[in-house]
Chain A
Amino acid sequence: MLIELSLIFFISSLAMVFFQVPFWMSFFLKKGKTGIDIHKENRPVIPEMCGVAILISLTVLGVILYIIVPNLAYITVISVALIGGIIGLIDDLVDLGGKVKPLLTLLASIPIFILGQYQPHPALPFIPSTRLTIIYPILIPLGIAISTNAVNMLNVVNGSTPLLLMPIFLSLMIISFIQGSFSPIPVIALALGALLAFYFYNKYPARAFMGNNGDFFLGAYLGAIAITFHLEVATLVAMFPYIMHGFYALSSVGRLFEHKEIRNKPVVFRSGLLYSSSDPQAPMTLLRLIVLKQPLSEKQVGYVFFFMSCLSSTLAVITSLLTNVRLL
């Protein structure tokens, strides 16, 4: 039943987002909520905040899913994502700053504690079950904050969020199939449908930007799925492109920051190509590493992101298989 339901919810979220985005595009254009597409020669003005379509669709469909299948994990995932999305929405309207925003996202994990949807026994490669009773509850808010902000930090070229997240969600679905645990599949199908529909508008050259609300919603959604459905390590590995970016950027800057605060830009746009900055003081970001060997167009960078996500998602499936192997 869950498989058939997943298919229905996949189509529903795809249709709901696909038909809703044009409305939000014209709405935010009229309201002046726009951003400049900086990696284009003509610097077009694009409507921002269109991720609202994903936030609304997944919340409504998630609640319907919970009514049909009363599994507390579903409502936990939706609640966590909704808190994340609302924080993103506030940031879209009133700039929260580079320090307050990540701290606020710690709060998104509250529903996991209230509904008791976690088990402090994550599986690691060669260790089918660990006993992280002390550290695990501390790691939950951090995990949600990291996944939420990571998705937002790497939304740097057209289509990057859907291109990076679709393989990750797909790998989690494959892992659930392999493990014979079908309960996460409907919520994963919801996200996949929404991302596929949004990609149509966000792909190069973008006609709609997601805004922080969409990035935060999807990041929190992914983090909540990892914790509530016991897919922590697989998600961690699948998110390696995000983790690499966050880790390199934060360690090279030495503090939490916003893109606009950085004076020495890591990449430079010239004649339709993205070049790695030769400034040693500029932050070491994933985008800078991608164009380090030779300059690429924005569209090519999107393909490299997709390749990276496919590779890390494949590694996530392998890692998940290794969790069933006992070394000692």
Chain B
Amino acid sequence: MKKNIIFIGGLLLFSWLLFILFTTLIVFSIETVESDKLTSNILHDMIGVLLIILWLAIWYFVTRALFLRNLKKIDQPNIS
């Protein structure tokens, strides 16, 4: 069970660190938005959405790669 907890806990921590990293990126991107109200509002929202999509994509591909690597090591090859 220790191995399982380390693996899944690591994945969870990775997800959180990625989330914090991307919100930090959002902070910097917001600073570049100009003061024009409507445009800045739209940009503000759109940048946030784009960063969330990027965050999810990185999250998915890293987890998928880890998953497939561990799947090859499964010691019960006939179970499906």
Interface flags, A125-138, vs B, CB<8A=1, else 0: 11100111111000
Q: Are B80 and A282 in contact (CB under 8 A)?
A: yes
Q: Which label, helix, strand, loop or mixed, suits the secondary structure of the A interface? A: mixed
Residues of chain A at the chain B interface (Cβ within 8 Å)? 124-127, 130-135, 237, 240-241, 243-244, 247-248, 251-252, 264, 268, 270, 275-280, 282, 284, 286, 289-296, 300, 303-304, 307-308, 311-312, 315, 319, 322, 327-328
Q: How far is the CA of A279 from the CA of B79 in the complex (A)?
A: 8
Listed from nearest, the 3 A-B pairs whose CB atoms lie closest are A279-B80, A293-B3, A135-B45
Q: Fill in one digit per residue for B3-45: 1 if any A CB lies within 8 Å of its CB, else 0.
A: 1110111011101100110011011101100000000011011
Most buried by B among A282, A292, A294, A295: A292
Q: How many A-B residue pairs have CB under 8 A?
A: 124
A278-B30 contact given A294-B3, A300-B1, A319-B20, CB 8 Å threshold: no
A275 cross-chain contacts in B, Cβ below 8 A: 76, 79
The number of chain B residues touching the other chain, given as a range, is 35 or more
B50–chain A nearest beta-carbon distance, Å? 12
* Bound-state Cα–Cα, A270 to B45, Å: 49
Kindly list chain A residues whose C-beta atoms are within 8 Å of the C-beta of B49: 135
Q: Check B23 against A126 for contact (C-beta < 8 Å).
A: yes
Task: Tell whether A290 pairs with B24 under 8 Å between CB atoms, given A132-B44, A264-B80.
Answer: no
Say whether A292 contacts B7, CB under 8 Å: yes
Contact residues in B for A292 (Cβ distance below 8 Å): 4, 7, 67, 70-71, 74
